[in-house]
Structure 1
Amino acid sequence: MSRIVRAAAIQITPVFGDDGLGTARKVCQAIRDAAEKGVKLAVFPETFVPYYPYFSFIQPAFRFGGEHLELYERAVVIPGPVTDMVAEAARDTGMVVVLGVNERDFGTLYNTQIIFDATGQILLKRRKITPTYHERMVWGQGDGSGLKVVESAVGRIGALACWEHYNPLARYALMTQHEEIHCAQFPGSLVGQVFADQMEVTIRHHALEAGCFVVNATGWLTDEQIAEIAGNPALEGPLRGGCFTAIVSPEGKLLGTPLTQGEGMVIADLDFALITKRKRMMDCVGHYARPELLSLLQDRRPAQTVHYTGEGAQDPTLADAAEVAP
């Protein structure tokens, strides 16, 4: 029997210069606005709370120490006030929410994706496995423990951030877990039109290859915000364009009109019968796979800086060791 889920890819602007909670409040209001339209799944942009570190793209590392420290002060601790706010909004509306945040774990920041179930429970907290280019000066690296698909109120959900979609083995790890909805997040307002063009190709290809829906959200900066971040008209160009908020079917078709400018939502009804229709033709982790020729080894053990031995000690990595044993 067919199952239909209404999803929203949300493109809005962050809030700068406050205590770090302003953007989270906008997220919660957007969740409630989407609920009024019957939405059951909402996806927000990459590291949207408190904001994506745009400064690191246009400034050399030795100059952005101050902005980096400010991001530390406003970053999200999990669990904490931001996750409590979003969990409450998800629970009140009965909505599954996928949110990108700058996570602070003591002395390191991470590009983190959080999946909240319709009950408000955090189903998954995963960290971008390899920050891209300028981002490596801002965030630490994630590990394989987050490359998971989770069962949610709207179906099996997987998530990747930005150029993780150019790591085919990371995408395949999620495909093997039979994701039904893939939640993609990009920063938006970056690089220019070529970034949006590449993004469209990327998410449509993943939908076709995985045989799943893709809900992709990008952020948006106003002219005033661009001027504030750049501090120099000559640096404003790299902070324009690059927005492509969209929803794609398992057949690679755009559902609705993508959003490339301004704030708003792309809303579509996801008919799960299309997943079976696509996979009947090509299931790359089933009848179209050749595991005797090609296979993937995934290490799901969380990265640890210390391993405990001795009487009364427990190594937290041992519980997952069986998952990666040859």
Structure 2
Amino acid sequence: MTNPTIAIVQEAPVFLNLSASVEKAITHMEEAAKASANIIVFPETWLPGYPVWLDFAPGAGLWDDPGAKTLFRLLAENSVQLGDDHLARLQESCDRLGTYMVMGAHERIGNTLYNSTLYFMPGAGNPVPHRKLMPTYTEKLVWGWGDGSTLATVDTPWGTLGGLICWEHWMPLARAAMHAKGEAIHIAQWPMVKEMNHVASRHYAFEGRCAVAAAGAVITKADVMAGFHSLAVNAPEAESLLASMPGDDDTQIHTGGSAIIAADGSYIADPVYGRTGLVMGEVDMAKQLEECQALDTDGHYSRPDVFELKVNTRAMPGVTFGED
């Protein structure tokens, strides 16, 4: 049984700039592939950056705030859409490098944005999306709700690859549904991986008897402002809202914390805080299978005679027409 090497890209995107962030992603993919990575992982909404103003800018949640509205527009203008040229560029890189890649992105459908994970497979043609089921707290100001039609996994030579986004890891039924899909490798995307996020990620690995790549970004206030300025737009209200975040240029808004976790909850690659770079580790698949002797939550430890979960995997649009 071969063992996959996972590389987490703990870097900042070119904040709010989709085209520039795609080019930067390809550079990091090439770096990871050169280091013999089989699966390359980016953090939550890395394309083109987690909306940090929701957490740190005073006034971001005020009704009809012109800065928040402008930032939403800029984010919508710099979000991916399935089938677009940006995703095609990333797919071409996966094909060329022969690697699997998991990207966190803002995805636009109509005029609604989603917090999405995109699974790229070499030679597949198009990425497979998962859209976050429940935006957390202030995230509801930016993202809509996903549905069960994108509770996705993909096949790899090392087994099933799946993932959840941020606080989805505290949704017990979402975890149960993903465990039932038989994940061998799970991607846990976070803005940054704080202590409680490590608790959730390590618990997921132990409960699901799978390897977990917990991915977070490192981004400074200077990165945020430089990314905004790279757009070369006249949007003083948006710039002012971003500038209102506390700290100076060197202040780290997100501090990384990426790690790779084994199926027994131990670390394959210890958490890395405060610096950029690749966080890499090799998963021992044989040892992982051995852990299932004591616990298999979708198998001999499941008690289906007592518990039953039904998952609605139909797409749930707001409007359907007769021919649909």
* TM-score bracket relative to the smaller structure: 0.7 to 0.9
**Pair 1:235–1:138, CA change in 2 (3 A):** farther
Equivalent-residue separation in structure 1 for 2:31 and 2:155 (angstroms): 25
Indicate conservation of the 8 Å contact 1:42/1:96, yes or no: yes
- Indicate the SS of the match to 1:265: strand
| Per-residue Cα deviation, 1:57-110 (whole angstroms, up to 9, x for no partner) | 232243211111111111111111210111011111100000011011111111
**Pair 1:17–1:187, CA change in 2 (3 A):** closer
Q: Aligned partner of 2:152: which letter?
A: K
Q: 2:123 aligns with which of 119, 141, 158?
A: 119
The alignment status of 1:9 with 2:8, answered yes or no, reads: yes
What pairs with 1:4-83 in structure 2 (closer than 5 Å)? Answer: 4-16=3-15, 18=17, 20-57=18-55, 58=57, 59-61=60-62, 62-63=64-65, 64-83=68-87
Q: Aligned partner of 1:290: which letter?
A: R
Aligned to 2:165: 161
- CA shift for structure 1 position 54: 1.1
Q: 1:296 aligns with which of 291, 295, 309?
A: 309
- CA shift for structure 1 position 153: 4.1
Equivalent-residue separation in structure 2 for 1:239 and 1:300 (angstroms): 39
Aligned to 2:266: 253
- Indicate the SS of the match to 1:180: strand
Equivalent-residue separation in structure 2 for 1:210 and 1:270 (angstroms): 15
**Pair 1:76–1:231, CA change in 2 (3 A):** same
Equivalent-residue separation in structure 2 for 1:82 and 1:27 (angstroms): 11
- CA shift for structure 1 position 147: 1.3
- CA shift for structure 1 position 307: 2.8
Indicate conservation of the 8 Å contact 1:126/1:147, yes or no: yes
Q: Aligned partner of 1:66: which letter?
A: T
- Indicate the SS of the match to 1:122: coil
Which range moves more in the overlay, 196-205 or 230-239?
230-239
Gap runs ≥5 in structure 1: 189-194, 316-326
Equivalent-residue separation in structure 2 for 1:234 and 1:216 (angstroms): 27
| Per-residue Cα deviation, 1:106-126 (whole angstroms, up to 9, x for no partner) | 111111110001225335211
Aligned to 1:101: 105
Indicate conservation of the 8 Å contact 1:9/1:266, yes or no: yes
Q: Aligned partner of 1:211: which letter?
A: R
RMSD (Å) for aligned C-alpha atoms: 2.0
- CA shift for structure 1 position 149: 2.2
What pairs with 1:147-186 in structure 2 (closer than 5 Å)? Answer: 147-186=151-190
| Per-residue Cα deviation, 1:133-183 (whole angstroms, up to 9, x for no partner) | 111010110000111322124431111110011101111101001000001
Name the TM-score, length of structure 2 as normaliser: 0.88
Q: How many residues are treated as equivalent by the alignment? A: 303
Aligned to 2:288: 275
- CA shift for structure 1 position 241: 4.8
Equivalent-residue separation in structure 1 for 2:221 and 2:76 (angstroms): 25
The alignment status of 1:209 with 2:207, answered yes or no, reads: yes
- Indicate the SS of the match to 1:109: strand
Quick one: higher RCO (CA 8 Å, sep 6+), 1 or 2? 2
Name the TM-score, length of structure 1 as normaliser: 0.87
- CA shift for structure 1 position 239: 6.4
**Pair 1:53–1:3, CA change in 2 (3 A):** same
**How high is the sequence identity, in percent, across the aligned residues?**
30
Indicate conservation of the 8 Å contact 2:16/2:48, yes or no: no
- Indicate the SS of the match to 1:206: helix
